[in-house]
Amino acid sequence: MSTTLGLIRHGRTEWNQLGKLQGQTDTDLTDEGRNQAQLLGLRLKNEAWDGIISSDLSRAKETAEIISAQSGIPIVAFDARIRERSFGLAEGMTLQERTAKWGAEWRKEDLGGETDEQVWSRWVDFAEAWMGKAPGEKLLVISHGGFIVQVLRGLSMEREEFLQNSSLTILQRAEAAWELTLYNCLIHLN
């Protein structure tokens, strides 16, 4: 019995537009982000998904609510384990500001954010819990770019292409292995 997870990056926010690192800072969608979620919801209306699990941060929750309203797919939970990674002191800053303050190697500084291992641990807890609760189901997981990229990195499925707002990435698990069947799909915006 295979389980399918559709990983969705939330719609666009003002901080996305400004190039600010959001992390776990709670930011809202822009009108463009709401429109992206509506278009994705209309696309998903014609696909067979059992439910939606969303990060509990506002930008993901609103994306989930819009997708659910457009598609009729029920929201089954809001889950803090799939929040964006914490970037500590770097949150709210642009790349230029981070580089000016800590240098080009700012990612190597201890800024009080989460490590790759901490983010991976949250994913493992989440995936194991939901695969136990809903084996064989197809679930949409509304999360965040940094979190999804870390999951794919941990599964040795990382891609060079930047993960876009409102994109759909699909992971399928049969037996003990995950398979990446779709990455960063934006067909709903075309």
Is 32 one of the catalytic residues?
A: no
Annotated catalytic residue, options 10, 62, 114, 144 = 10
Q: Residues 6 or more apart from 79 whose CB is under 8 A from it? A: 53, 54, 55, 56, 126
Is 84 one of the catalytic residues?
A: yes
Residue 165 CA: distances (Å) to CA of 116, 133, 145, 171: 21, 28, 8, 18
∠ CA 27-4-189, rounded to 5°: 50
User: Phi and psi for 12 in degrees, rounded to 5?
Assistant: -65, 145
Annotated catalytic residue, options 47, 65, 84, 91 = 84
Catalytic residue positions, numbered? 10, 84
